[in-house]
Amino acid sequence: MTPIALPDGETVPALGQGTWMMGEDPARRESELAALRTGIDLGMTLIDTAEMYGDGASEELVGHAISGRRDAVFLVSKAYPHNASRDRLHRSCEASLRRLATDRIDLYLLHWRGNVALAETVEAMERLREAGKIRHWGVSNLDTDDMEELMAAGGKACATDQILYNPTRRGPEIDLLPWLAGRKIPAMAYSPVEQGRLVDHADLAALARRFGATAPQIVLAWVLRHTGIIAIPKAASVEHVRDNRAAAEITLDDDAVATIDRLFPRPRGKVALEML
């Protein structure tokens, strides 16, 4: 698994596991637990969740999945914007820790920007880090101007920006991804296969057949070929996890990259950061 360096030099796998909409249906619980545990076995040890996902149900699921294996996992969770104040962030973090059944979160993110001043969120994050509740902190869904403001607000310790990025959402390539790369801050791509909406794309399927792969695997391989990007696709079954892991072994050639560029052209100018 290709390692991606955080700003302080610690490395994480380029391919992790997302959990959006997991933990919400008891009928899928055993399949989801097996998927997460298989992913860990396959080296996809970065697991992303959030207090928002199922009102904490996803965090509880992850807590069970990593039981007995906590030290093998790089755990990421996210706080609501309205909880990102100096008075509330510690309470959100403590609640997430209880649901995750752990004593620390490896990377704690502001889920998106709200009405709390970024300087106040930075202060609250740093307090959690000093208390040992979190090891790193970062943000999600912040565009370039937001990141500039974050830096000016004392946020130089920001470890990542988790963003919507895949071939159909290439706006970050214009300015945000170069800005992050210039500061050695990795991007974390959520919905890297556009929530499965590219599964039946005929041209991608034709390209995938040349590699003995599927369209989603080709899309995931395209995301992973970028330097400094961590992909966190969701997989709720063991088979899906194995398919995602296999995508990390696909090396796209120049013709394949050119085909994807033709199918999903890069914007010519600035596009506001999209989010789901």
CATH number at residue 49: 3.20.20.100
- Asked if residue 19 is part of any domain, the answer here is yes
- Which of 12-26, 109-123, 198-212 bottoms out in mean pLDDT, i.e. has the lowest? 198-212
- Which of 168-177, 182-191, 200-209 bottoms out in mean pLDDT, i.e. has the lowest? 200-209
pLDDT of residue 197: 83
- Asked if residue 274 is part of any domain, the answer here is no
Which residue in 213, 192, 222 sits closest to 17, CA to CA? 192
* pLDDT (average), residues 233-260: 97
Is 53 assigned a catalytic role?
Answer: yes
As for how many domains the chain has, the answer is 1
* pLDDT (average), residues 192-221: 92
Question: What phi-psi label fits residue 56: left (phi over 0), alpha (psi between -120 and 50 degrees) or beta?
Answer: left
Domain span holding position 31: 11-263
Per-residue pLDDT tens for 75-130? 999 999 999 999 999 999 999 999 999 999 999 999 999 999 999 999 999 999 99
Confidence of residue 196 (pLDDT cuts 50, 70, 90): confident
**What is the value of pTM for the model shown?**
0.95
- Asked if residue 273 is part of any domain, the answer here is no
pLDDT of residue 195: 81
- CA-CA distance, 132 to 144, in Å (whole number)? 29
Structural tokens at position 67: 């039981």
- What is the b/e burial string over 157-193, where b = at least 16 CB atoms within 10 angstroms of the residue's CB? ebbbbbbbbbbbbbbbebbbbebbeeeebbbbbbbbb
pLDDT of residue 36: 98
* pLDDT (average), residues 172-192: 97
- Asked if residue 269 is part of any domain, the answer here is no
